């Protein structure tokens, strides 16, 4: 074959700087949109989780406040029981003290009565001795 028989292929025109810049901008934009959609969807999912968690935390906070108030009421009830018990113990101590004082008073009274009985017996004996001596 001769050189004239070979088909001549036209050489493609060399891209201009403007075409190269446009192609680069389009490629960069497609990369950014692909990366942004993934990052954006991740961020949206995280934001959704945060909002859901915030609602759950708010609900838990309300439940905790309610239970704290209930616990406070229970504490007040127990404090009343403790106060009543302490009052009962004090009253028991007062009753015991009163009983001890009463016992001491009764012992004094008993001793006094014993002394009166002894005095009466000695007076009676002295009177009986005096009568017996006076008749002789």
Q: What is the pLDDT of residues 84-102, one digit of tens each?
A: 998 888 888 888 888 899 9
What count of other Cβ atoms lies within 10 Å of the Cβ of residue 85? 10
Q: What is the pLDDT of residues 49-66, one digit of tens each?
A: 998 999 999 999 999 999
The Cβ-side half-sphere exposure at 24, using a 13 Å CA radius, reads 7
Q: What is the pLDDT of residue 94?
A: 84
């Amino acid at each position: 074959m001769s050189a004239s028989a070979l088909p001549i292929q036209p050489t493609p025109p060399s891209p201009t700087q403007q075409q190269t810049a446009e192609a680069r901008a389009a490629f960069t934009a497609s990369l950014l949109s692909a990366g942004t959609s993934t990052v954006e969807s991740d961020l949206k999912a995280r934001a959704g989780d945060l909002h859901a968690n915030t609602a759950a935390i708010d609900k838990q906070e309300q439940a905790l406040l309610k239970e704290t108030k209930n616990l406070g009421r229970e504490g007040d009830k127990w404090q009343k029981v403790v106060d009543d018990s302490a009052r009962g113990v004090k009253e028991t101590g007062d009753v015991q003290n009163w009983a001890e004082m009463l016992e001491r008073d009764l012992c004094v009274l008993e001793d006094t009565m014993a002394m009166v009985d002894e005095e009466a017996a000695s007076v009676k004996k002295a009177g009986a001795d005096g009568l017996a001596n006076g008749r002789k």
